[in-house]
Amino acid sequence: MAPARSRWIVGPRDPAAERLLADALGIHRLLAVVLVARGYSEPCEAARFLNPSLDDLGDPALLPDFHRGLSLILAARERGDRIFVHGDYDVDGVCTATLLGHFLKKIGCDVHVHVPHREREGYGIHLSIIAEAVDRGAKLFVTGDCGISAHEQVRAAKEAGMAVVVTDHHHVPEAFPEADAVINPHRGDSRYPFADLCGCGVAFRFCEGITREIGWPIDKFRRRYLDLAALATVADVMPLVGENRILAKHGLQRLERTPWVGLRALLEKCGLLDKRPLTSHDVGYRLGPRINAAGRIDDAILALRLLQSEAMDQARALAEEVDRLNAERQRLQNRAVEEAVARIEAQRWEDLPLLMLEDPAWNGGVIGLIAGKLRERYWRPACVGTLDGDGRFKFSARSVPGFHLAEAIRAHEPLLRGGGHALAAGFSVDPSMLQQAKEALLAYASQILSADDLVPTVEAVAEVSLRDVDLEAAEALEQLEPTGVGNSRPTFVARRVGVSRVTATRSPNAVVLDLIAEDGRVVRAVSFNDAEAWRQASLDEPYDVVFLPEVNRFNGRTSLNLKVVDTKPSD
């Protein structure tokens, strides 16, 4: 069998700390291995992580400009002024708009809710929407999951006579808009203890603070809106630690019995209505993509109407529509990825340190997904573009560790216009400057990235003995849920593992491996990589295996399954 095509990073072990933690909490030793490796070696810290409490959420009044925002909301309610709520077209933005709109109406405000159309309005707040808010008689303009860079739009709203409250979670520029209140925990002067909330998380905490100030029951507020906060937190790929873990853990439990008719219809459509427990995987791969699909290839208003639905018939029809749009999104994405791969390999670009390609026919709502697929396939930064409504090429980019996209964009202004984060960003280029932009980014990547940066990295929590991995261990590891960024599902390395049999499956890309533990026990594992290599591999030599323990549940029965992440012949 060919050697692994990736670098392995295996964490160190601290057996004494693991033993102490396992004994103190009465938990499985393998769970203690993970907790110690992730910095939770103190029993109190580990217990708090495993059992996150809503009581550990920070005081909403510590959010910057909380009291200014509170005063503006309550004054608008007192006078009967219309409030215009502006969200965004992704899951986080739609959930934020839904939460703000529903809550403000519940406390007696006159509210209109808007989410932008990706193609007609683009990201953020289009100036035409300021005019629409004025036409609708709004006196207060409230943003959710956007607005922190909307200088011109906030200025226009103020000049039109509206007060402005910005609630956002994106990183704050050097100067933020001159709104009446800017509620963003990333502000340098913020005293709020946790900065990495999603947009809906910020709105949730802000509205919870309002609930407390007006004397309404906090528990009732949380029961109504926790599921929206969890859905947005997971779908927006926020780090699932700290307050995000608290919101996601309790919110997913609430989602299992959600009061939102639209979410019940969507759960039903996804076959998740009676699933217990719901996991971050269910949100990230089933619910989130369907809500996102409306904004990607049609109109996010469909997703908003779904979440706002009060009648099940209407909700089911909208759930059916977003499901259809998601299927169309997958078709457009898969076709574009195939075209992109064909171009890359025909031009022999796969060895370049950065990929940048465009096609006016590609749908602007899926270029980020295409970039992500190319990044995964070739393990290098990928920038994928299409023409926008202004005749410029807009690109969505995904990167690998070692290449900071936002810094790369800033280094090439004004040739590139845009921004983002280290691993995900977007920018636009004038068509006449496209070739220059490609050459400049490629040269920059050549300077920044080393050959090692372009080799995929597989990280494992620790090296363990396969005899210590059983069904009880896999079930214990489920206490780490919800898992995701910052709290990934743990993988381990087992050395010198025997393979007694390789069995084909219905999928040509997967094989079942019978692994032999040190105590002679046969452990079933599934490999979704290198299926052809395994069919031809020698079973007379041992292998080192990176694997993910899983609980397989079928027809009321549970069993251990190992998902093989990577393999190489033992030294």
pLDDT of residue 174: 83
Q: What is the DSSP letter of 488?
A: P
Helices 218-235, 242-255: crossing angle, 10 deg rounding: 100
Residue 3 pLDDT > 60: no
Question: What is 461-569's CATH topology?
Answer: OB fold (Dihydrolipoamide Acetyltransferase, E2P) (2.40.50)
Interval 289-296 mean pLDDT: 97
Topology of 347-454 in CATH? Diaminopimelate Epimerase; Chain A, domain 1 (3.10.310)
Report the relative pairing of strands 110-114 and 138-144 from DSSP bridges.
unpaired
Contact 548, 563 (CB under 8 A): yes
Among residues 430, 451, 441, 455, which one has the least CA distance to residue 354? Answer: 441
Question: Rounded to an integer, what distance in angstroms lies between the CA atom of residue 272 and that of residue 323?
Answer: 14
Backbone angles phi, psi at 36, to 5 degrees: -65, -45
Mean pLDDT of 105-128: 94
The residue extents of the domains of the chain are: 60-251, 256-331, 347-454, 461-569
Token pair 């087992």 is found at 494
The tokens of 471 are what? 């069904």
CB 352 within 8 A of CB 326: no
- Alpha helix locations (H) across 347-384? 367-378
The two most distant CA atoms of the chain are separated, in Å, by: 81
Strand partners, 113: 85
Confidence of residue 139 (pLDDT cuts 50, 70, 90): very high
Contact 464, 33 (CB under 8 A): yes
Angular region, 6: left φ>0, alpha ψ -120 to 50, beta rest: beta
CATH classification code of 60-251: 3.90.1640.30
**Span of 166-180, 276-290, 353-367 with lowest mean pLDDT:** 166-180
Q: Is residue 137 pLDDT above 80, yes or no?
A: yes
174 compared with 439, residue with greater pLDDT:
439
The CA distance from 387 to 182, in Å, is: 33
The strand pairing partners of 497, in sequence order, are: 543
Give the CA distances from residue 227 to residues 187, 292, 402, 409, in Å, rounded to whole numbers and listed in that order: 26, 17, 35, 36
The reported pLDDT for the residue numbered 2 is 43
CA gap 218, 212 in Å, rounded = 6
Q: Is the pLDDT of residue 4 over 80?
A: no
**What mean pLDDT do residues 457-480 have?**
95
Close Cβ partners of 432 (under 8 Å, ≥ 6 residues apart): none
pLDDT digits (tens, 9 = 90+) for 149-204: 899 999 999 999 999 999 999 888 888 999 999 999 999 999 999 999 999 999 99
Torsion angles phi and psi, residue 167, rounded to 5: -115, 125
Of 420 and 371, the one with more pLDDT: 371
Which amino acid makes up residue 562? L
**In the predicted model, what is the mean pLDDT of residues 380-409?**
93
pLDDT band at 531, cuts 50/70/90? confident
Q: C-alpha angle with apex 245: 489 to 460, nearest 5 degrees?
A: 20
Q: What number is the average pLDDT over the span 37-59? A: 97
- The per-residue pLDDT for range 59-108, each reduced to its tens digit, is 999 999 999 999 999 999 999 999 999 999 999 999 999 999 999 999 99
| Helical (H) or strand (E) element with 564 | strand 557-569
Secondary structure of 393-420 in HEC code, one letter for each residue: EEEEEECCCCCCHHHHHHCCCCCCEEEE
Residues forming beta bridges with residue 503, ordered by sequence position: 512
**Do the bridges between strand 424-429 and strand 181-183 make them parallel or antiparallel, or are there none, so unpaired?**
unpaired
* pLDDT reported for residue 437: 97
